[in-house]
Amino acid sequence: MAKWEIQGKTFLITGGASGMGALYAEAYLKNGAKSVALLDIAVETGKATAERLNKTFDNKVIFVKCDVSKEEDIVSAWDAVLAQFKQIDVIVNNAGIMVDAPNVWRTASDVNWQGLVSFTLKGISHMRKDEGGAGGTIINIASTVTLVKTPALPIYSGSKMAVLHFGQCLTVAPFYDVTGIRVLTKCLGATDTPLLQNLEVRGYDPKVGKALADSVVTDGVIFQKPESAVAASLYMFENGAPGSIWLADNNKPAKDITPIIDSVYATFEKLMMP
């Protein structure tokens, strides 16, 4: 039996117009979500996704335009969702840009990192039980690039490592006991979505971009099916302890890797002891 229920919860999903965000939304609705807000910069796609889901799920979905790299958009979107639903139980910080190219990396970093932090902090203020909230769950999507060296994407990898460490620092006890807010981090592996198309133009320079694209072939990288990534997210939501970190990769079941990460932290803590 699941420890945490999706049934009756209101979700806010960034990057929700298409790709994994839209698939997460559909999966949560199938499992009894009360309502879902899709936030994205892609207006026409987002509206179409909301319309499609509303035909199946009795008008439980809204779309709100939001450029996650801009704080004014985040504030406006947050207020719009609260005006519609009154309460937000779950935030899924899914929006991401996997591009280190010179003309993109600053915006990408704002989306991958600063936008995620902003939504997380707004969620904490809204949800925390010690200040009158109802508690809740915040799911931050990191990546398997946080766990390995990825020379072609150092900026993207750094932003995703920040996401993982942010969650770990934030959830040190007694955070959950005081706030009632569960923060989960998902390390998502290579998944067959548009995010992994045109790899040769995603590096911080053309040479490393080509090397990245070539390595996918030479290393035999498996692009997991989106359905596998969705199943991992559902399992993580229903079973993930506060502060836990989960691996979703290679079409395998979700794996709680918190003990492994904790052991690394413990090793360095011992090294730094006087």
- Active site (catalytic) residues: 156
Amino acid at the residue 184: L
Q: Which residue has the tokens 């919860």?
A: 9
Cα(123)–Cα(126) distance, integer angstroms: 5
Cα(252)–Cα(232) distance, integer angstroms: 8
Token pair of 233 as six digits: 């997210």
Look at residues 37, 32, 242, 239 and name the one whose alpha carbon lies nearest to residue 124.
242
Phi then psi for 124, rounded to 5 degrees?
Answer: -60, -45
- Cα 107–chain centre separation: 17
Q: Is the dihedral of CA 237, 240, 245, 251 positive or negative?
A: negative
Cα(142)–Cα(18) distance, integer angstroms: 18
Cα(253)–Cα(273) distance, integer angstroms: 37
Cβ of 123: how many Cβ atoms within 10 Å?
A: 23
